[in-house]
Structure 1
Amino acid sequence: MRLLAAFLLWVLATVTLAVAVPATWAQHNLVDRDGYSALATSAAKDPAVQQAMAAALTSQLMTLSANAGYSSADVNETLLNGAARAYTSGDAFPGQFALANQVAHRWLFTDSVGVSDASGRWEIDLSPMLADSSFQQTLADYGIKAPETLQIPLTENISQSLRPGKFREVAKWGPWVSVGSAILAGVFALLTLAVAKRRGKALGALGVSGLVVGAAGWAGIEVGRRYVDDGLAATSDDVRNVAGAMVDHAIGSLHLWLNLTIAAGAALVLFGVLVSMLGGLRRT
């Protein structure tokens, strides 16, 4: 009976840990606005994100130039892209990129902000980037006059898969799920140790839980990436490229958490083996 109770508690500890690790990561890096801003700031230092954002800025500047009556022969796209690349690789870009992402974050996690164009597409204004003194100076070095506004549509059309306030319930319940699952995982782990007849084997089993959760997390990312790509399909080309690069950066962050979970599990398995060996020596 004691063995069955320990097994059931171990299963509960494993399940709650499988919820706690991704939920805590998501709450810290995606749901929480400050955490997401920090993630965006870190992502802005990634060359892939810088390149995608430079392409987005170049595309929008070319569109605005065309709308102002300039032909493609009048505007040197290579120079525009060079200016954008110089800006996105500069020190001011991470902070400006984080501010723009805060707008997108509020757009998804609340429905209190947002701007729509005549067709109903939701947009964000990247003019703060153009207003940055370093970008203005970079453009001036190329003889380019920056526009006062730069609206980029988040979606090609009005979409039910990506709309204002889509994740409002996640923002409401996310903290409860992350904290609650972490507490339950700890409680079930302690109960497993308390009920188990042999502490060494129980520690080893809890270490296996970490290994299983980490490995399952890696597999889950590969499966979930398809759904993320489907969601990004509703966005405009420029936003899709930038968001795709950010998703890759975020996945790298989640991989780190999963690797730490695996490492902790392996250490716990070794510790359990050591405890079992010492217990065996003590009994002989």
Structure 2
Amino acid sequence: MRTFLSGLLTLIAMAAIVLAFPSLWVKERLVDSDGFVANITPMAQNEQVQDYLAGQIADGVAEETGIALTAPVVEPAARAYTHSDAFEADFVDVVSQQHAWLFDEPSAGSDTTTMQLDITDMVNRVIAQTGVDARVSGPILVPLTGSGGAGLEAGRYHEVGQQITAMAYASLLVAVAAGVLALVIARRRSTVLAWLGVGVVASAVFAWAVALFFADRAKDEVEAAEEGGREVSAVIIDSAATDLQDLALIVGAVGVGVVVLGVLGRVTLGRR
């Protein structure tokens, strides 16, 4: 009876472990606003992101002033700004807007079809750096997705984010509880430990597959965006997917270590 119960708990723990790691990553790095910002903020140092926003800032100045020649004049200053340390703080604000659009419930009567990022503060900072005594009131909005229902609607992942958060906590709780009980009840704890390690390895493999699926799906979501915005979005998406894949390698290595520890323990006890 102890062997059967221990085996059943081990299987439950393994299944929960497979779900726990990728769902916790999604919860901490995408659903959570601080985690999302921390995950994306390094993209402020990406030259493609910097050049794209520099062009958008220059275009915004031209649109606000109504002078077509303003953009070529301001763009060098905009590029200098996006390559400076001051850019990161403003980029964090833009990233926070993006997260709010995707995961917050949209307000009644708002446009929910086109994600637009307000870069007014960026434009005013560049104008100030040029020495011009002027300030635009904005908002200067950059559409990141297509209109007419294409792309990412506001609050697209609001409910999904809540569901993933609940699944992350539940799977972690079940994995810990079932794993500990299995080890306590088992006659051969080293064997249970080895199987739990297999579950960790399986979780890493599953997380790697989730990263590939996430990247492909997210790129499809922004397919309707204009070319520059689509390319920048792809850079950010690939960065997030790479983060999960790197963690999956670490988790997989830990799992292999647990398997080896369990096997060695089983061999040692067997000899005794």
TM-score between the two structures when normalised by the length of structure 1: 0.81
Shift in Å at residue 214 of structure 1? 0.9
**Distance verdict in 2 for CA 1:146–1:253, change over 3 Å:** farther
Unaligned runs of 5+ in 2: none
- Residue number among 175, 186, 211 corresponding to 1:196 in the alignment: 186
The 2-side partners of 1:113 and 1:106 are apart by 15
Shift in Å at residue 146 of structure 1? 8.0
Unaligned runs of 5+ in 1: none
Question: Identity of counterpart residues, as a percentage?
Answer: 26
Aligned to 1:100: 94
Matched, 1:58 2:55: yes
- Residue number among 147, 153, 177 corresponding to 2:167 in the alignment: 177
The 1-side partners of 2:169 and 2:199 are apart by 19
The 2-side partners of 1:27 and 1:220 are apart by 13
SS at match of 1:234: coil
The 2-side partners of 1:67 and 1:13 are apart by 59
The 2-side partners of 1:161 and 1:6 are apart by 48
Shift in Å at residue 15 of structure 1? 1.8
The 2-side partners of 1:207 and 1:263 are apart by 10
The 1-side partners of 2:148 and 2:5 are apart by 52
SS at match of 2:142: strand
Aligned to 1:30: 30
Aligned to 1:20: 20
Contact conserved, 2:22 with 2:210, CA < 8 A, in 1? no
SS at match of 1:44: helix
Q: Pairwise mapping of residues 81-120 of structure 1 onto structure 2 (< 5 A)?
A: 81-110=75-104, 111-112=106-107, 116=111
Shift in Å at residue 25 of structure 1? 1.0
Contact conserved, 1:60 with 1:152, CA < 8 A, in 2? no
**Distance verdict in 2 for CA 1:38–1:112, change over 3 Å:** farther
Matched AA of 2:88: P
Aligned to 2:231: 241
Contact conserved, 2:13 with 2:178, CA < 8 A, in 1? yes
Aligned to 1:127: 120
Contact conserved, 1:56 with 1:238, CA < 8 A, in 2? no
Matched, 1:256 2:246: yes
SS at match of 1:9: helix
Matched AA of 2:187: K
The 2-side partners of 1:136 and 1:8 are apart by 66
- Deviations 1:41-91, CA, capped at 9 Å, x for gaps: 23323x2xx4224224304523753785545xx4574x6554333222221
Shift in Å at residue 163 of structure 1? 0.9
User: Which shifted more, 52-61 or 100-109?
Assistant: 52-61
Aligned-residue Cα RMSD (Å) equals: 3.1
Matched AA of 2:223: A
The 2-side partners of 1:9 and 1:116 are apart by 49
Contact conserved, 2:219 with 2:233, CA < 8 A, in 1? no
Contact conserved, 2:116 with 2:143, CA < 8 A, in 1? yes
Aligned to 2:207: 217
